[in-house]
Amino acid sequence: MEKSEDQKSFDSEIYNTIELFVELKHFEKENGSVSLFSIKNNEKYFLSSSDISLNRQFLKFRIYPGRSYQIKTDNVCIKLAYLSGSNDIFERGIKYLFQNINFQKNTTVHFHPIKGWMNDPNGLCWFRGLYHMFFQYNPYDKIWDNMFWGHAVSRDLIHWIDLPVILFPQEELYHFSGIKGGAFSGSAVVTDEDNNFSEEKYQDQKYLWLFFTRHFGLKDEFAGTAQYQVVMRSTDGLTFGREIPIIRRPLKNINFDFRDPKVGFYNNDSNSISMNHSFWYMVIGSSVDISNEKKYNITDFDGHPSASINDNDILLNNNNLNVPSVLLFKSTDLNNWRYCGTLKKFYEYLGARSIECPDFFKLQNQWVLTASLMWWKDKSNRFQPVKWFVGNFNGKDFEQKETGLVDFGGNLYAMQSFEHHGERIAISWFSDWYLENYGYNKSLPFSGAMSFPRKLQLKDNILIQKPINQVYNLFNSFILYDDKNKNFDVLKELKLKKKI
């Protein structure tokens, strides 16, 4: 086969590393290669080379700041490239290379990647003076695939700085075409040196912990699929230690959908945060086979008692009756976890495959549970809505008082929240299930965006959401509906004051 070579030049500026996401042009026909050369006085000097045998591979080369280089590829396409490694990476961010993009990323008001696919927000937290947002990411294409974690930081939750990709799919996923997986969704917590809860005090913040799901299985997602929870820890918010598996499915009646750990801190004594009065909790989305139970009470869409069903009324997944559920785990050290049963079974949503991306937190002396309903359509034909539930939690049982929709529209999913300075802030993924925006806009190099950050509050046990104050500062006008003139043409009123 005729060689397919390409050469690209770049200057390293202040960076000491180049990171490349590459793909073979002719997979299964021949291997490829990527070579790095230094350019000095118009002379080219060979530095390093990597043979590419898998369909997709990630490469990282060390370089020197302030020099010129050239990348030569043979039978390889560079899907994403950037410079990383600098003393001021949190201020400057990475520098993208070789991008033929006809828009400016920093002029959009919703966070999105420069290219590729993005979905769930992950690991939202405030750590050492910066807000951190990780997210589900595929740098290779505008569709979902084996999952990476992207990473960005901000000082105001509006202006974001891109950082290097932090998590990668297992290498085995690229050896076989019939399997899928990677680093699925998760969350973050911040602790002091003794692993005690530390969300507010900058001087006490020692560790940033990431909890997430590893997925490995067949593309049809049946027998043999494995999902388990892992943890990793960082002292700088940029580099992390090794992954440590911590939780596997505790019972056989728990479905293989067993993912998206959200970790929080429970303190039953407001005057103490010692572990004698408190514990770490983790909620995980799943579904539970209840076919051995005799009778199941169900409720209507608003959570009110409606009816009951017997074993033979609804049978799903090989004659198992699976109820979407949120599972509860507890720990005193963030490494060793104990299964404590189901926090909530959603009998009213029989037919939903699973709960995804649950969140659970205390807000104004009440407890709020949010859950994304996988493969569910409600009576208004919303696909995969997100629901909230307000109630009491005594450290073991959740007693629901009220429930409602997180968002009236049908394109918001996987909401995750965190607390900072006493405020509960949430960000969600614009899922675009109906391909109304990014899915049909072929001119854009990316698919997926994040919602405005929202401040969460309770009023009469109802979840209230408002954009954070920084969002209002972006616009000259913020009129969503003019009752006097019955005007729904809001786009004319929504005008940016200036570029982001």
Question: What percent of the chain has a predicted confidence (pLDDT) above 90?
Answer: 69
Beta strand pairing call for 454-459 and 423-430: antiparallel
Domain residue ranges in the chain? 5-80, 102-467, 474-500
Instruction: Give the residue-averaged pLDDT of 37-61.
Output: 94
Q: What does the pLDDT read at residue 306?
A: 37
Mean residue pLDDT across the chain: 86
Q: Pick the range with the lowest mean pLDDT from 1-5, 58-62, 493-497.
A: 493-497
Q: Which residues of 425-449 are buried (b: 16+ CB within 10 A; e: fewer)?
A: bbbbbbbbeeeeebeeeeebbbbbb
Q: Which residues of 184-203 are buried (b: 16+ CB within 10 A; e: fewer)?
A: bbbbbbbbeeebebbbeeee
Give residue 214's pLDDT.
98
pTM exceeding the 0.75 threshold for the entire prediction:
yes
204 annotated active-site: no
Region 335-345: what's the mean pLDDT?
A: 97
Dist CA 332 CA 415 (whole Å): 26
- Mean pLDDT on 177-195: 93
Q: Residue 498 to residues 103, 104, 109, 345, 475: CA-CA distances in angstroms? A: 16, 14, 11, 47, 8
Please determine, for residue 67, whether its predicted confidence score (pLDDT) is greater than 90.
yes
Query: Please, what is the end-to-end C-alpha distance for the chain in angstroms?
Result: 48
CATH superfamily of 102-467: Glycosyl hydrolase domain; family 43 (2.115.10.20)
Tens-digit pLDDT profile for residues 249-305: 999 999 999 999 999 999 876 554 545 579 999 999 999 999 877 554 444 434 443
Give the span between the Cα atoms of 91 and 89, in whole angstroms. Answer: 5
List, for residues 118-143, the tens digit of each pLDDT value.
Answer: 999 999 999 999 999 999 999 999 99
Largest CA distance in the chain: 81
CA dist., res. 24 & res. 50, Å (int): 13
- Distance separating alpha carbons of residues 163 and 58, to the nearest angstrom: 16
Q: For 368-411, write each residue's pLDDT tens digit.
A: 999 999 999 988 888 999 999 999 999 999 999 999 999 988 88
Phi, psi of 490 (to 5 degrees): -75, -20
Q: Tell me phi and psi for residue 470, to 5 degrees.
A: -60, -30
The fold of the 5-80 domain, in CATH, is Immunoglobulin-like (2.60.40)
pLDDT tens digits, 132-175: 999 999 999 999 999 999 999 999 999 999 999 999 999 889 88
* Catalytic residue of the set 74, 120, 257, 359: 120
pLDDT value for 108? 67
